[in-house]
Structure 1
């Protein structure tokens, strides 16, 4: 194939289209959301390629193929579905991915369920993904695999005889050695990862954790720390790097300035007049630290009475896996805390300290909440990155917001110079940060938020893709070229943001 014909093959757990029942009994597709889809669509549309993933429906019928074919025609690239059964999803996704890898990689090993049945399902489903890749790709294609559900995929492809370069990016954290050691299949999983040629992590911390595990557990490799390369016994070199993912900051900024968002934000503020609005937005998950956040807010109201009737916490919780007992229990605990705190502090004049929202928000509502809030309280126990923090900064177009951020979020490395960093386990420390944010002078707010907004802009989601593929080129992986106009010129970008931040 010529260089122009070489394709990018993106592999992720889900396809970038969501299927739903149509009016005629068939299925209709709509584009998925998220930074990965936003960043890779321009590349795939410009150069052509394949996206491999599960279509979201376990009953794989002709209607699924028809809906995906329609979406393919609109998108300009090929969608390759992986057919999974309900049993596959139970063992591979709900089981091993989210009852073993998810808690373990977030340093919550006590929540892991190391069921061997889950492991066998995980291996089988990774094999199914490999079979679809083998049937849908050419040897010259550049294959980029995403996230913790597909850690074994390179090993499956190598076993099938694939010799072309394979790249991988982990969107969640990688645990330190003492926690990784708890995994019964630690050697198999680590050696499978080393079958990739380029491995990317969100932060330098995650990269170092991985390298430490390799150095300790794999005895037939050598590591070049200066170049972050692992030299394999078969002569291959595996490059390892950190590539912090970003957002489409300019798009969030534009929407934050739109009349619809301004009107919605004004309505929110009018409903809660003369208040400092503190915002938390989280998916229902135990890694987000919502109960500890609510406890810290209660401590703040108790220790700093001047906050009473002056602040309101808007806590948005997006439903997720609430059919699982552990998540149902978490939801009940959150609701119990909200009730306790509101019961303790609500005043007859109408002040209610916490406004609790349990539903998914569309993009306009989300940006309106960001625009209306004066303070964002982003306190995960551990996160790969946490894009809510970056989205809030991008939407703070008046540079008057304050970001309180967990030091255990991946975003803390980039946003530490403008955010108020807290340990989410330290209730009094977080309470003091809330009080400090509320009392912060306008000039300091503006200075800090401008630092944050510049940092968010510098690492956009497009530059993340660009940086990863440039690393692949530097590693002689023959990476897929980007469209010529994929990134704005440095001059245009600097002019835009200098004007925006003036």
Structure 2
């Protein structure tokens, strides 16, 4: 069996893979350790052209080689800040109103993908398989194919895939889908995402789709490929152990003391307009307005680390969120009570797990999300004898699995308010039953299942993917 080559926009450092990183880093590093291989991508540094063209920086950790490159300022602006995050990200999250398309940024996006593929060429052996991750790298397989690579190449999309009508608002939408068809296996978070891709193939690309269900073969643009649904997960028992271990640490004791017996609603997200943060604050305001008994008796802690601060839309959402927190606190605060504690800073992952364990409600309400691992982490971190309740958006991929959550529409502030009321007042027996239901789902589809099922299917794909005549 050949090695595994993982390609992602950013590469976790060897230190991060030891426990502080998120799901992607933990999952793929485990697979790399099993087979040996290479993790290739951007280092996160913006460098001079001389440094960028010098070749990948290599760092060895056992059987795993970390290979990273820097981006020039032009490449960063066009590939990352431009087309990836100003065009693809908003459109794929159904926020066309925030999207911007510039031809030179799209050209830069394709140029950087081709450049990255060329950098990887010297690291690939003939029997390796290549696993590419996320929207930054849609043209990556096409670039490798143009370099003569015939290895099996898979792609996993961590964010939603939009409906054909939404995707078509991106002018080069057909080129993007044609690039996706250069992969041998496409993985999606949910059945809806897979169906949206199939709909585009049939309606817009005049291609063909095979059997429906968890897996389906697609024929389009002169190629045959396979699609599948792979629900990324967590290692729930590991999270539970870590949350319990940290629950007596000083940061948890300080929080408990400051709450003075009040109930706690925990919410953790990157600062992003897709997460529904403003809508969440307004729902919490509805709770305080409609249920006076909760004033002074419940606190919402919102942790939202800043991200992409050099993109204007992200600066705007930060200013709006700070304004809403200030307005609501001004309305309902007392001398010894602050309803919303808004923290725009990064926290260690395991510290967050211990805070989840102390809370009575997890409030996770994105407007659109591929999966949302925070929802799964919240459940896994709970104390089985006294678990909190997860209030979860129906537009998170995790909603299809976590049937023990209270599902809400993030566009319905009153509906979210009512769910919070129910969660805060829920009897212990019902909370325990919902927790057990969710934990069963987490264990059934944990991070290892996601990783191993995708790689098994990629190795099983008929090879090569080229075909002479598409079936209609």
Residues 56, 310 of structure 1: CA spacing in aligned structure 2 closer, same or farther, 3 A cutoff? same
2:370 paired with 1:374? no
2:237 paired with 1:241? no
Deviation digits for residues 58-115 of structure 1, max 9, x if unmatched? 226789999954x31x343222323421110110000000000000000001111111
Does the CA contact (< 8 Å) of 1:264 and 1:368 recur in 2? no
Question: How far off its partner does 1:232 sit?
Answer: 4.5
* Distance of 1:180 and 1:42 partners within structure 2: 34
* Distance of 1:311 and 1:327 partners within structure 2: 29
* Distance of 1:260 and 1:426 partners within structure 2: 34
Residues 184, 65 of structure 1: CA spacing in aligned structure 2 closer, same or farther, 3 A cutoff? closer
Partner of 1:36: 24
User: Among residues 216, 224, 232, which one is paired with 1:228 in the alignment?
Assistant: 216
Does the CA contact (< 8 Å) of 2:55 and 2:119 recur in 1? no
- Map 1:394-433 onto structure 2 (within 5 A): 394-398=380-384, 399-415=386-402, 417-433=403-419
Question: How far off its partner does 1:251 sit?
Answer: 1.8
User: Among residues 434, 454, 462, which one is paired with 1:468 in the alignment?
Assistant: 454
* Range moving further from structure 2, 377-386 or 362-371: 362-371
Deviation digits for residues 394-448 of structure 1, max 9, x if unmatched? 1002352100001001111111x20011111101111111111111111111111
Question: How far off its partner does 1:260 sit?
Answer: 5.6
User: Among residues 147, 156, 170, which one is paired with 1:160 in the alignment?
Assistant: 147
Residues 64, 460 of structure 1: CA spacing in aligned structure 2 closer, same or farther, 3 A cutoff? farther
Partner of 1:500: none
Question: How far off its partner does 1:168 sit?
Answer: 0.5
2:39 paired with 1:51? yes
Partner of 1:101: 88
3-state DSSP of counterpart to 2:323: helix
* Range moving further from structure 2, 145-154 or 469-478: 469-478
TM-score by length of 2: 0.92
3-state DSSP of counterpart to 1:173: coil
* Distance of 1:477 and 1:16 partners within structure 2: 31
* Distance of 1:137 and 1:168 partners within structure 2: 17
TM-score by length of 1: 0.87
Deviation digits for residues 181-216 of structure 1, max 9, x if unmatched? 111001111111011110000011100011101111
Residues 392, 408 of structure 1: CA spacing in aligned structure 2 closer, same or farther, 3 A cutoff? same
* Distance of 1:15 and 1:148 partners within structure 2: 15
Partner of 2:5: 9
Partner of 1:353: 339
Residues 233, 58 of structure 1: CA spacing in aligned structure 2 closer, same or farther, 3 A cutoff? closer
* Distance of 2:274 and 2:293 partners within structure 1: 31
* Distance of 1:106 and 1:118 partners within structure 2: 19
User: Among residues 71, 79, 86, which one is paired with 1:92 in the alignment?
Assistant: 79
Q: Tell me the C-alpha RMSD between the 2 structures.
A: 2.4
Residues 49, 262 of structure 1: CA spacing in aligned structure 2 closer, same or farther, 3 A cutoff? same
- 4+ residue runs of structure 1 moved beyond 3 angstroms? 28-32, 60-69, 259-264
Partner of 2:262: 275
Deviation digits for residues 347-367 of structure 1, max 9, x if unmatched? 24x122111211100123212
* Distance of 1:56 and 1:291 partners within structure 2: 29
* Distance of 1:44 and 1:109 partners within structure 2: 37
3-state DSSP of counterpart to 1:411: helix
Deviation digits for residues 444-473 of structure 1, max 9, x if unmatched? 111111111221222211111011112224
2:428 paired with 1:442? yes
* Distance of 2:56 and 2:247 partners within structure 1: 32
3-state DSSP of counterpart to 2:33: helix
Question: How far off its partner does 1:141 sit?
Answer: 0.9
* Distance of 2:278 and 2:21 partners within structure 1: 27
* Distance of 1:267 and 1:83 partners within structure 2: 41
* Distance of 1:322 and 1:261 partners within structure 2: 34
Residues 67, 185 of structure 1: CA spacing in aligned structure 2 closer, same or farther, 3 A cutoff? closer
3-state DSSP of counterpart to 1:318: coil
| Count of equivalent residues | 460
* Distance of 2:69 and 2:235 partners within structure 1: 29
Residues 363, 65 of structure 1: CA spacing in aligned structure 2 closer, same or farther, 3 A cutoff? farther
2:351 paired with 1:365? yes
Does the CA contact (< 8 Å) of 1:44 and 1:76 recur in 2? yes
Deviation digits for residues 102-154 of structure 1, max 9, x if unmatched? 00000001111111111000010010111022221022110111000000111
Deviation digits for residues 349-394 of structure 1, max 9, x if unmatched? x122111211100123212211111101101110011111111111
3-state DSSP of counterpart to 1:134: helix
Question: How far off its partner does 1:262 sit?
Answer: 5.5
5+ residue gaps, structure 1: 20-27, 479-502
